[in-house]
Amino acid sequence: MNPQVASEDNPYHAMEARLDLAAARLGLEPNLISILRTCEREITVSMPVVMDDGSVNVFEGFRVQHSTSRGPAKGGIRFAMNVNREEVRALAAWMTWKCAVVNVPFGGGKGGVVCDPFKMSKGELERVTRRYVTGIMDFIGPDRDVPAPDMGTDGQVMAWFMDTYSMHSRNYLPASVTGKPISLGGSLGRIEATGRGVMLCAREALKHLGMNPKECTVAVQGSGNVGMISALQLASIGIKVVAMSDVHGALYNENGLDLAGLRKHMQVQRKLDGFKGGDRLSNKELLELSVDILVPAATENVINSRNAAKIQAKIIVEGANGPVSAKADKILDDKGVFVVPDILANAGGVTVSYFEWVQDRMSFFWTQREVEERMERIMVDSFAATVDMAQRFGESNRIAAYMLGVDRVAETTRMRGIYA
């Protein structure tokens, strides 16, 4: 790690710090560690796009493939103003470990386009998406690299993605991307999958700790697809959702928020502000609430060395990727917080993406129940394997999950050998 650029907030360094600990614990060969620390391929594209007012804006886009050792690269595409290459690298590596933890046959990749999807018209968004697909076209595909939604992208963006990829390939290729609308080969249960996985992890954590969901409270940071669905799913097993937030701030009600009303309000207003069912708090205050469970489902590094000591939750279930910095890991461990790490907690999404890819390749579609049952089995087994690893090695759940994932990637990398 270069000390010049090493910082707590650099997500790639956060990933490397955990990888190094897991690799040391597994006794991995140094050569293998250097391979796993590096991304296989990074593509940067600059994309001139004609805006609605006739001006031309040159957007920057990335696609990073961290590993294809266990299968095609897999991972979402983020549309955000602050997305950058270092972040996309980290997100790509996290996808590698995540796919390996739940044992789906994919490597890891991630994409990003520097843009503000909320300020662009539908036409502008479509042109940016199609231009991005064309830019990375030669490096992706059902057997190479399969994108999906992430922050700032949705089913409509995936539909344009699939159409552009199919048009250029002169073939109908729905397996080129996941998270599509159902009518285009999307899978039932994909939209809910990440939030449902968060709920299943919370449920398993409570069972493990001997706590009753009906006597528990949760605060959810974020109210996008992951935050909102996580909240609804957690409420469905009797947990009281006392706080939620968006980028502008949080809402708190000790008797439980009216989630149905809040969801309706969000659909119309696209923000929490103005909803009368609780007291306003800041995002910082939400994280420090005295609750049983905390679900950070927004962005990276929200729990860091500056606030980790103030966290009062007994359980943290990481809906977001990288919400806890590597420095905060130790502080939370010392406090005895039970952390379900991102590469396990939010893996429900990519698990159902895998099901979508399988269904598209067979052109044979499963019922919602089949999807949910298969996903539940994978999440419950992966949770148990992580906790078991943690207990056997006396490690945190996070390092245990990395050990599970890294070991599987190391195994295929070793078996495939170094081609020269």
Least CB distance from residue 329 to ligand GLU, whole Å?
Answer: 20
Here the tokens at position 167 are 């048009």
Indicate the residue among 75 and 278 with the shorter CB distance to ligand GLU.
Answer: 75
CB of 150 to ligand GLU, least distance (A): 4
Of 178 and 283, nearer to ligand GLU (C-beta) is 178
DSSP per-residue string spanning 350-387:
HHHHHHHHHHHHHT----HHHHHHHHHHHHHHHHHHHH
H-helix or E-strand spanning residue 56? strand 56-67
Residue 175 Cβ vs ligand GLU, minimum distance, rounded to whole Å = 12
The packing angle between helices 225-236 and 190-209, to 10°, is 50
Nearer to ligand GLU, 91 or 291 (CB): 91
Q: How far is CA 29 from CA 34, 120, 148, 414, in A?
A: 9, 48, 33, 10
Q: Which is nearer to ligand GLU, 148 or 371 (CB)?
A: 148
Cβ closest to ligand GLU, residue 195 vs residue 213: 195
- Answer positive or negative: Cα dihedral of 7, 73, 67, 343: positive
Q: Is 257 helix (H, G, I), strand (E, B) or coil?
A: coil
> Residue 96 or 413: which CB sits closer to ligand GLU?
96
> CA quadruple 328, 330, 335, 336: dihedral positive or negative?
positive
DSSP-assigned letters across all residues of 134-194: HHHGGG-BTTTEEEEE-TT--HHHHHHHHHHHHHHHTS--GGGSSS--GGGTPPTTHHHHH
* CA triple 229-235-239, angle to 5 deg: 130
* Residue type at position 358: V
Nearest C-alpha neighbor of 66 from the set 37, 44, 103: 37
The closest residue (CB) to ligand GLU is 76
The CB-of-223 to ligand GLU minimum distance in angstroms stands at 17
CB of 317 to ligand GLU, least distance (A): 14
User: Phi first, then psi: what are they for 5, rounded to 5°?
Assistant: -110, 0
110 is catalytic: yes
Instruction: Indicate which residue of 74, 110, 180, 240 is catalytic.
Output: 110
Cα 109 to Cα 128: distance, rounded to the nearest angstrom: 20
| Nearest residue (CB) to ligand GLU, 142 versus 256 | 142
- Cα angle: 225, vertex 228, 229; to 5 degrees: 75
* Smallest distance, ligand GLU to C-beta of residue 299, A: 12
- CA-nearest of 89, 87, 83 to 114 is 83
Binding site for ligand GLU (CB under 6 A): 74-76, 148, 150, 178, 321, 346, 349-350, 353
Q: Give me the least distance between CB of 78 and ligand GLU, in Å please.
A: 8
- CB within 8 Å of 275: residues ≥ 6 apart: 251, 261, 262, 265, 266, 269
- Catalytic residue set: 110
